């Protein structure tokens, strides 16, 4: 289920879990279930961040043009994922 979540949605859910656990109103069973869900969400967030980092590294490595164009605006270019990196 968590594999389809965006980084932002997973992070928001983690915050909700943390709030619930900090209130100390969850039963032991519920706390364990929330902890397991949080572990899964942490892994997903880590994957999202790793992919973002890889994209940035690839973009910086393959940059052939200056960061800004003649009018001082940021240069843009389409991004192509390298074949050895798989998306989520």
Rounded mean pLDDT of 8-37? Answer: 95
- Residue 58's pLDDT is what? 81
Q: Where are the domains of the chain?
A: 2-61
The band of 48, judged by pLDDT with boundaries at 50, 70 and 90, is: very high
For domain 2-61, the question of CATH label 1.10.287 is answered with yes
Query: Nearest to residue 80, comparing CAs of 66, 61, 67, 68?
Result: 61
Look up the pTM and report it: 0.67
- Residue 57's pLDDT is what? 85
Alpha-carbon distance 76 to 34, whole Å?
Answer: 41
- Residue 88's pLDDT is what? 57
Alpha-carbon distance 50 to 53, whole Å?
Answer: 5
* Residue 60 structure tokens: 């910086």
Percent of the chain with pLDDT over 90: 55
Alpha-carbon distance 61 to 31, whole Å?
Answer: 44
Alpha-carbon distance 64 to 68, whole Å?
Answer: 12
- Residue 87's pLDDT is what? 61
């Amino acid at each position: 289920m968590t594999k389809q979540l965006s980084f932002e949605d997973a992070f928001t859910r983690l915050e909700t879990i943390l709030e619930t656990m900090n209130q100390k109103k969850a039963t032991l069973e519920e706390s364990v279930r929330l902890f397991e869900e949080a572990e899964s969400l942490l892994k997903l967030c880590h994957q999202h961040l790793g992919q973002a980092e890889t994209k940035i590294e690839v973009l910086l490595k393959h940059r052939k043009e200056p960061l800004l164009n003649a009018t001082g605006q940021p240069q843009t270019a389409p991004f192509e994922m390298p074949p050895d990196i798989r998306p989520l």
